[in-house]
Amino acid sequence: MSETEIFKALADPTRRAILERLAGAEMNATDLRAGFAITQPAMSQHLAVLRGAGLISERREGRYSHYRIARDGFAPLHDWLGRYRDFWPSRIDNLKDLLREMDQ
Amino acid sequence: MSDTESELVFETVLDAPPEKIWRALTIPEYRDRWLRKPDDVSVHLETVNANSLLTYRWKERNEESLVTIELTPHENGGTGFRLTHAPLVIPAAANSNETAPTMLRAA
């Protein structure tokens, strides 16, 4: 899955909140929706986007679907984060150097 | 790092007043000297609150993200510097149910 798909999935605050909730444990759709002011179809749509981006996986058990974080799906995001985790400290050092060189 | 972390935050204290840091962040000639962005990245100044808050819209091939910098003056003359780099959503809105003020793509 591409970074672009993952970024699109993360663009929505509700989907980010769903991921935070799933970070702790596998949950079914009903439990997952508790506390969110959204309809069941809206929740289904968010879950479909997250699955499409490879960020969560679904497990069927009878009438219930259980959702969990798909750890491997976050690899492109982790690559992106890793790139910029190295990038910014050197830039902040550059900024400190520049501030010393600038006139007041 | 947690598995679902999706933003980077860097904090430091700079030995300069906010007004001077602001010039280094917003005047292109100064900005290019410290930022040295990768060749495949384009940067646009997105939202501005003079001397305290700015956001760069960061475009890298097809990915878009936001770099938000907050400046907080300290009593000793230094300035708190906080940089957040996150995909797409203004971080302050990420935990609220309100629509983010600057959503780069509609859901």
Report the alpha-carbon distance of residue B29 to residue A69 in Å, rounded.
44
What are the structural domains of chain A? 3-101 (1.10.10.10)
Interface touch A94/B65, C-beta < 8 Å: no
Measured between CB atoms, which of A4, A19, A96 is closest to B4? A19
Report the alpha-carbon distance of residue A44 to residue A33 in Å, rounded.
10
For residue B80, being part of any structural domain is answered with: yes
Report the alpha-carbon distance of residue B36 to residue A94 in Å, rounded.
9
Of A10-14, A53-57, B32-36, B67-71, the range with the lowest mean pLDDT is: A10-14
Please report the pLDDT score of residue B4 as a whole number: 63
User: Could you tell me the pTM of the whole model?
Assistant: 0.74
For residue B22, being part of any structural domain is answered with: yes
For residue B48, being part of any structural domain is answered with: yes
* Chain A interface includes B85 (CB < 8 A): yes
Report the alpha-carbon distance of residue A36 to residue A39 in Å, rounded.
8
Cβ atoms within 10 Å, residue A57: 16
Report the alpha-carbon distance of residue B83 to residue B55 in Å, rounded.
10
Best to test chain A binding among B1, B2, B3 (most A CBs inside 10 Å): B3
Interface touch B23/A102, C-beta < 8 Å: yes
Stretch 21-80 of chain A: residues touching chain B, C-beta under 8 Å: 22-23, 37, 49, 69, 71, 74, 77-78, 80
Helices (H), A11-74: 13-22, 29-33, 40-52
Q: Could you tell me the CATH number of the domain that includes residue B65?
A: 3.30.530.20
Mean pLDDT for chain B overall: 81
For residue B40, being part of any structural domain is answered with: yes
For residue A6, the chain B residues in CB contact (below 8 A) are: 87
Interface touch A88/B10, C-beta < 8 Å: yes
For residue B41, being part of any structural domain is answered with: yes
- Which residue range forms the structural domain that includes residue B85? 8-93
* Chain B interface includes A85 (CB < 8 A): yes
CA-based nearest residue to A78, from B6, B60, B40, B64: B6
* Prediction ipTM score: 0.78
Element spanning A77, H or E: helix A75-101
For residue B106, being part of any structural domain is answered with: no
* Chain B interface includes A1 (CB < 8 A): no
Instruction: Decide: B10 and A89 in contact? Cβ < 8 Å.
Output: yes
pLDDT, tens only, A58-90: 999 998 999 999 999 988 888 888 999 999 999
Structure tokens at B42: 């384009």
pLDDT band at residue B90 under the 50/70/90 scheme: very low
For residue B1, being part of any structural domain is answered with: no
For residue B98, being part of any structural domain is answered with: no
According to DSSP, the residues that pair with B12 across neighbouring strands are B81
Total domain count, chain B: 1
